[in-house]
Structure 1
Amino acid sequence: MSLLKKIVGPSLQFNRGIKKRLFNWYGEGIQYPGFKYYPRKSDFQDPPYEATKLFRVERIKPLKGAPYWEKQILKEFKLDGKTNSFVIVKNIPENNHRLWRVKHMIKITPITYPDGFPENDDVTFLEDTGKLRIIKKISTLDEAKLQLTENFQKDLKKLDGDTLRRHSRQKWLSGWDTLC
């Protein structure tokens, strides 16, 4: 440093202090937990979003070559088996922090309820897209439907399977020229 001053002279000074803010957008960002977002337009509003209660987490990358701490996190979530296995995880900050650390190895899908929230005795099916479908129960048959079924089965004019087979065989043997 002293050699540089001798060559250039005392007019060269190094200023390492705080400079004036060069950007006019300093302090204008929206603070979110963990990051600051600088919107493109000043009248930006967050779209309404209701967080889901559950996530469908699927492992899409193999564990081979992953560090031990990532393998441990996936083992805690029981995702250390086959590659395309999935689990249901609660949307809480502790789980979100652990999922963030292995986000490159998993696929997270929020679970939605298009048929409504299931009751205790409902039968459900979770699709790959994260939609939890409720399988409708078959209601008990009322007496009118049972009576109609009995009348149909006891009807003499209806064709049963044996009669249809004999009639079809006759048509096959005689050809299609007769329509009886």
Structure 2
Amino acid sequence: MAKVIRNQWVYKKTGHWYRYLPRRNDASKEFDYEKHMAGPEHFPEKMEDKPPKLWLIWIYRNYSKDPVHIKKKVEKLFGKDAEPGKMFIFKNTASQNIELWPLKHIIEVRALSFPNGEPTIDDVNALEVFPDGRCVVDKHLACEPSQLSVLDPRKQMSNSYLCSRLRSRYNKCQDVFETNVYTPKNVTLIE
């Protein structure tokens, strides 16, 4: 007589498994911050000063091993070519903060301040943003947009290509020492 397979959870030692039984879904699921009251509005430490108008944000660690929903949020906010260290500026609004909240373990957030006063439309080409959150208007940095030449990233040399070229050039060179018998007679070493 055949054994009756019941539709229930069966936990066995490693190596034992049964077909046709429902499997547990152990994939990490997106955390519902609203349901658990863990969003930015429920954060216990509020800012003491006046809230800034803009945030300076960058990704500070690799997110390739994070779940798919985190990768989708990073792609939505920072674009497909998001990489650690690239700085972005976001508005400090409630909706934007809710979007950024699930990424708080990946990103660094700083308040953007303007020590020289807020820039005008004429100062756009003369702005310099520092990693500490200062945005300085420096007239010496101003340049004409027609003078700028934008490089195509597909035509630039990759890091691996440059490393391989430099390594091959380094390996081709012979060391020049005074005691080396292969050093040409007309080469003198200056210290």
TM-score under structure 2 normalisation?
Answer: 0.46
**More strand per residue:** 1
TM-score where L is the length of structure 1: 0.49
